[in-house]
Amino acid sequence: MKSSTDQQRLTPKGRATRGRIVAAAAQLMFEKGVAGTSTEDVLKAARVTSPSQLYHYFGDKHSLVQAVIEHQTEHVLGFQRPLLSRLDSFEALEAWRDAVVDAQRAIGCQGGCPIGSLSAELSDHDPRARAGLAAAYGQWEDALCEGLRAMQERGELGQEEDPEYLALALLTALQGGLIMNQARRDTVALETVLNAMIERIHCHALV
């Protein structure tokens, strides 16, 4: 896999081509799974004519998958970061919940979580991918934890509360709700579990 230093050495055109390949692969793997996505599919979707270009940037499909994990992590966390960075009240926590639910409604509750889908497919038999996915979840958990810690510092949560514990519980609840969304094709389960978690946190609010 190309290191970050290697990527910085690419020309603007090279970075654009690499980004186009990663974006195309991410979309295909989300829709069809990693096993169902061939390098030929990626090349066609990315409008790249030569297979040598893909191997120039990634070396092999495993390295491309690692790049897709990084891409999907940024995609998933990107729209949440502005909300999580201001998570210093229960109103802000509810706004984050609403944004997550609205995002699912916008895609018809199909596909689930891009990170979760990759994890379900790869974690048991691809140690390198599993490590990347664990790191992705770690970033997500940290973002939630920072927000909850901001609530605690502002005085919305008692000092006896553990933001790390609550962040992991929130993320786990969210992932379960997203899986239920896929089967039910509605957001009821996701809303229910996130509401339950917010109510649980609210029980220890400082009033």
Quick one: tokens of 121? Answer: 């497919």
**Does some domain include residue 207?**
no
Q: Are residues 36 and 86 in the same domain?
A: no
Task: Tell me the CATH number at 15.
Answer: 1.10.10.60
pLDDT band at 4 (very low <50, low <70, confident <90, very high): very low
pLDDT per residue as tens digits for the range 10-56: 788 888 889 999 999 999 999 999 999 999 999 999 998 888 888 88
**Does some domain include residue 133?**
yes
Report pTM: 0.86
Give dist(CA 105, CA 21) in Å, integer: 28
Q: Are residues 37 and 119 in the same domain?
A: no
Burial of residue 29 (number of CB atoms within 10 Å: 0-12, 13-18, 19+): buried
Q: Are residues 113 and 184 in the same domain?
A: yes
Task: Tell me the CATH number at 89.
Answer: 1.10.357.10
Q: Are residues 106 and 194 in the same domain?
A: yes
Q: Are residues 120 and 162 in the same domain?
A: yes
pLDDT per residue as tens digits for the range 119-165: 999 999 999 999 999 999 999 999 999 989 988 888 888 888 899 99
- φ, ψ at 179 (rounded to 5°): -65, -40
Predicted confidence at residue 207, as pLDDT, reads 54
With a cut of 60, say whether residue 96 has pLDDT above it.
yes
What distance lies between CA 182 and its chain's CA centroid?
A: 16
Give dist(CA 57, CA 72) in Å, integer: 18
Q: Which residues form the domain of 27?
A: 4-67
**Does some domain include residue 122?**
yes
Give dist(CA 138, CA 191) in Å, integer: 23
Give dist(CA 52, CA 200) in Å, integer: 53
Predicted confidence at residue 59, as pLDDT, reads 85
Per-residue pLDDT averaged across 82-111, rounded? 91
| Spatial contact of 68 and 29, defined as CB atoms under 8 Å apart | yes
Mean pLDDT of the chain: 89
Q: Are residues 111 and 197 in the same domain?
A: yes
